[in-house]
Amino acid sequence: MSKFLQSRLGAWTGFAAAAIGLFAVAPLIMSGFRLGLFAQFICYAIVAVGIGLAWGRGGMLTLGQGVYFGMGAYLMAMHLKMADAEFRNGPGAVPDFMELAGVRELPAYWVPFASPAFTVAAILVLPTAVAVLLGLAVFKRRVKGAYFAILSQALAGAFAIFLIGQQTLGGFNGLSYFRYFFGFAINDPVNQQMLYFIAAGVLLAVVAVSLQLRRSRYGELLVAVRDSEERVRFLGYDSANIKVVAYAVAALFASVAGALFVPVVGIISPASIGIVPSIMFILGVAIGGRGTLLGPVIGALAVAWAQTTLSEQFPSAWTYAQGLLFVVVIALLPGGISSIPALARRIRVKNRPEPVEATA
């Protein structure tokens, strides 16, 4: 069975099954409200795939994915607010929240976001470029491990505080109340389903990209850098470049997820991208199995589902559960739930222990 899953045919079968599940079965069995929630979970899962690549395969614990998620989200939100203002008051109008704050003149950096093409390009390019620059700055100087983790976390903290201070980006409240998504009314159930389909499609695409990267020579190198960076460098590779690519891809995934998150959920604020939300992205990846392809997806979906179902009824118990999950899963089950079958097999066979994946 596992051999089949690792084969090329197995991958295609898996994708076909996932596509049928996401596109045909899910809309049938879920109400519109639940489908919207599911779309939101999928956004987290897209971030998780990127973290799985950077952390699980590359050994870079990025505690700041909220930054890229937030960039994508704010860029998209700016466009949606512009479109909204244009619909109400004609081209060049000031978005409603600025009107309330007494801003009469549209800030210059908002102007290009009236264009959908510019917005999409910005969502794809800007966070990736930031990640490449930061990655080069950090990895070229061989800042790694715990240092990198702390820097990425500090970046998330600084970014959230920066956004809170920006009144023309909604400040503490962030941006909310969007009516149109590229011309489609967001509150129309048909369009909400369309948003879900887009999110599901993006998830499949992101997983496919991740799979290709894992199977390529590059993927081998990435794992090699994770396990023994010195040795890779001695073999003549520039390990910094290898890491930057994975980091930038993870940033791109997070940005796209953020851009989808905004129309699906209808609000983005600094509270959902700061230090704590950024580290929470990690939890699902750890639970699902950081080094595996689908573990992060399943883990992120499960955590998001548990969060929405449990946190409202038992807010206190859910925080304890989150804390305990971090402790128990990472201390005792570093391979996540994906490693349970292998562990069970090992206990049954009582053979020589095989190396547990991704404990870096």
Partner 1 sequence: MDLIVGQLFTGLSTGSILLLAALGLSLTFGQMGVINMAHGEFIMAGCYTAYVVQQAVGDAGVSLLIALPLGFAVGGAMGLVLETLLIRHLYHRPLDTLLVTFGVGLILQQVARDVFGAPAVNVTVPEFLRGGVDLLGTTVPKTRLFIMALAVVAVAAVTLVLRLTPAGRRIRAVVGNRDLAETAGISSRTVDAGTFFIGSGLAGVAGVALTLIGSTSPTTGQSYLVDAFLVVVAGGLGRIKGAVVAAVALGTLQAVFETYSTASLAKVGVFIVIVVFLQLRPQGLFTLRTRSLA
Give contact residues for partner 1 (rule: CB under 8 A).
59, 61, 134, 137-138, 141-143, 145-147, 149-151, 153-155, 157-159, 161-166, 275-276, 279, 282, 286, 316, 319-320, 322-327, 330-331, 334, 359-360
Looking from the CA of 221 toward its CB, the CA atoms found within 13 Å total 19
Q: Alpha-carbon distance 261 to 158, whole Å?
A: 22
Q: Determine the Cα–Cα distance for residues 7 and 111; give it in Å rounded to an integer.
A: 49
CB of 96 to partner 1, least distance (A): 23
From the CB of 329, what's the least distance to partner 1, in Å? 9
- The C-alpha atoms of residue 158 and residue 283 are separated, in whole angstroms, by 22
Q: Supply the minimum distance, in Å, between the C-beta of residue 287 and partner 1.
A: 11
| ∠ Cα 182 271 76 (to 5°) | 15
Shortest Å, Cβ 351 to partner 1:
23
Using the 8-state DSSP alphabet, how is residue 169 labeled? G
CA distance 42 to 39: 5
The residue type at 273: I
Q: Burial level of 224, CB count in 10 A (0-12/13-18/19+)?
A: middle
Q: In the complex, what is the shortest distance from the CB of residue 306 to partner 1, in angstroms, rounded to a whole number? A: 15
Q: How far is the CB of 129 from partner 1 (least distance, A)?
A: 16
Name which of 174 and 266 has its Cβ closer to partner 1: 174
User: Whats the size of the chain, residue-wise?
Assistant: 360
109-132: buried (b, 16+ CB within 10 Å) or exposed (e) per residue? ebeebbeeeebbebbbebbbebbe
Residue with Cβ nearer partner 1 (171 or 201)? 171
DSSP string, 60-129: ---S-HHHHHHHHHHHHHHHHHHHHHHHHH-TTPPPHHHHHTT--SPPGGGGGGG-HHHHHHHHHHHHHH
Q: How near is the Cβ of 158 to partner 1 at its closest, in Å?
A: 4
β partners of residue 267: 176
In 3D space, the residue among 332, 318, 335, 331 whose CA is nearest the CA of residue 280 turns out to be 318
What is the nearest approach in angstroms of partner 1 to the Cβ of residue 307? 13
CB nearer to partner 1: pick between 78 and 358: 358
Taking the least distance from each CB to partner 1, the nearer of 192 and 272 is: 272
Q: By C-beta, is 163 or 200 nearer to partner 1?
A: 163
Residue 178 is encoded by which pair of tokens?
């969007």
* Smallest distance, partner 1 to C-beta of residue 178, A: 25
User: Cβ closer to partner 1: 88 or 141?
Assistant: 141
Structure tokens at 1: 């069975």
Quick one: 79 or 290, whose CB is closer to partner 1?
Answer: 290
Rounded Cα–Cα distance for residues 247 and 230 (Å): 19
Look up residue 192 and give its two tokens: 């909400």
